Amino acid sequence: MNPPHTSLSASIMAWAAMTIALVVAGYTYVRDRGEQRPTGTTSVLQRVSGSNQLRAGFIVNSPQVSRDAKTSELSGYHYDLLKKLATEGGFEVAFEETTFSTMVAALNSHNVDVVIGGGSESIPRAMEVSFTDPIMILGLGYIARSDDPRFQSVADLSRPGIKVAVTAGGASAEYQKEYMPQAEPVILARSELARIVLEVTSGRADIGIGNVNNCLRFEKEQPNIRFVTKGKPFYRFTSGFVVRHGDPEWLQFLNSSIRNLQTNGFTDRLEAKYNPDGMLWTPIKLPR
């Protein structure tokens, strides 16, 4: 039988070990919370709740965001979704244009709190920014000049020496780098998608890669342009809103709000408005 003082010492040691473990666990929790959102900083959600205004960056990139050439009025799936979200949340949105190549800097400098129109997810991008849950699945297509017989299918992209117009930081540039390393990229520094057509029609590029929606529009607007892979996307990617790292409350709010608008049928109305034949993207829907 152990002496009484031995049992007491063991109890004290056990209590001390448990206390140390709790302190370490508490420190780890606080540390990890600090890594998510640095101490002393304010969540976007808190600031928006106080000021009733959200700063949103946008990239003109149909079907997510479009701009009327005559009136400059914005529209599109992402645009309407964010406006509805803001209305339900009781705050206003101040929009500021950005580009694929500058949106990360705009977020990290706190000039904007969310970016719409540029949310194609990729592993390199995920190291720089955070994404909401995917809203839609988009696909890429490519255009060529109508009088250029070399391009008839996706297989023709493997031709050596092709000059391909892509947008810096976008899914088209990612595809070219990964699957067309033999091609010569013609990189468009700004999100001016009409320039894809100009590069192709001028001969500075043999083909131009863009999402299916834009390829359809290019073919419709330019009689000397042909949408080669019409109806057959050759590369798919998810799209959502983009936010900076380290603000879990804001990201959770956006995800919860989007799920609500998916569940109550609002996104169905956006589908009917912007994608009635289902050709432009595949919606990500919650089970009902």
- How far apart are alpha carbons 255 and 214 in whole angstroms? 27
Residue 277 pLDDT: 83
Fold of 139-236: D-Maltodextrin-Binding Protein; domain 2 (3.40.190)
Identify the H or E element spanning 10: helix 4-36
The structure tokens listed for 181 are 């390393």
C-alpha atoms less than 13 angstroms from C-alpha of 124 in its C-beta half-sphere: 9
- CB under 8 Å to 83, separation ≥6 — which residues? 93
Residue 287 pLDDT: 61
Residue 190 pLDDT: 57
Q: Does domain 44-135+240-283 have CATH number 3.40.190.10?
A: yes
How do the domains of the chain map onto residue ranges? 44-135+240-283, 139-236
Residue 31 pLDDT: 32
pLDDT along the chain (288 residues), means of 10: 43 40 36 45 92 95 89 96 97 93 92 90 88 93 96 93 89 91 87 81 95 89 93 87 96 96 94 88 75
Residue 5 pLDDT: 42
The structure tokens listed for 65 are 């965001």
How does 243-253 read in b/e, with b if 16+ C-beta sit within 10 Å? bbbbbeebbeb
C-alpha atoms less than 13 angstroms from C-alpha of 121 in its C-beta half-sphere: 16
